[in-house]
């Protein structure tokens, strides 16, 4: 399986951004864990981080032909980006939404995900473990 992983805005700050909420692991450490799990599952993986909504849509478009599945942490875009939602739907990418924190137990604006309806599953609140569960879930997705 070819797996596309996209991290949204401000996730490049992992390690120093609200460690009580997001943990102390850096983006590089998280990506190393993702690559290790992907290798163990026999996946090829492409990992990107972007702070820009348009760039995320361009990455989805550019990699949609290659990817069998998408793991995405849309970060703050989760809560209001109909543009990213529409891109996932339009590209018909089997998608899994992930969050390091438990968005259901935080501020009210974070409890809404406009991305969730176009995803097969959502994993949240387990730090890097949310991503690991998403990768394991992808192993059960039927290939295109």
By CB under 6 A, residue 71 contacts ligand DQA: no
Which tokens in the block code for residue 97? Answer: 């939404």
Active site residue 131: no
Of 67 and 100, which CB lies nearer to ligand DQA in the complex structure?
100
Could you tell me the smallest distance in angstroms from the CB atom of residue 115 to ligand DQA? 10
Active site residue 79: no
Strands of the 121-124 sheet, one edge to the other: 44-49, 2-7, 69-73, 95-99, 121-124
Which among 22, 77, 131, 137 is annotated as catalytic? 22
Could you tell me the smallest distance in angstroms from the CB atom of residue 48 to ligand DQA? 15
Which tokens in the block code for residue 37? Answer: 């799990």
Of 71 and 100, which CB lies nearer to ligand DQA in the complex structure?
100
Could you tell me the smallest distance in angstroms from the CB atom of residue 133 to ligand DQA? 13
Give the one residue of 78, 96, 128, 137 binding ligand DQA; rule: CB under 6 A: 78
| Interaction site with ligand DQA (CB under 6 A) | 10, 73, 75-76, 78, 99-101, 103, 110
């Amino acid at each position: 399986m070819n797996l596309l992983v996209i991290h949204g805005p401000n996730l490049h700050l992992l390690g120093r951004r609200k460690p009580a909420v997001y943990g102390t692991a850096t983006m590089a450490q998280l990506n190393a864990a993702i690559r290790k799990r992907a290798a163990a599952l026999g996946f090829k993986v492409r990992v990107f981080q972007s702070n820009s909504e348009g760039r995320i849509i361009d990455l989805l478009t550019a990699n949609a032909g290659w990817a069998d599945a998408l793991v995405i942490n849309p970060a703050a875009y989760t809560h209001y980006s109909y543009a990213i939602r529409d891109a996932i739907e339009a590209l018909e990418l089997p998608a899994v939404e992930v969050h390091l924190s438990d968005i259901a137990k935080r501020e009210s604006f974070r409890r809404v995900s406009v991305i969730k309806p176009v995803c097969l599953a959502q994993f949240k609140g387990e730090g890097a473990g949310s991503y690991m569960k998403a990768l394991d879930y992808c192993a059960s997705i039927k290939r295109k």
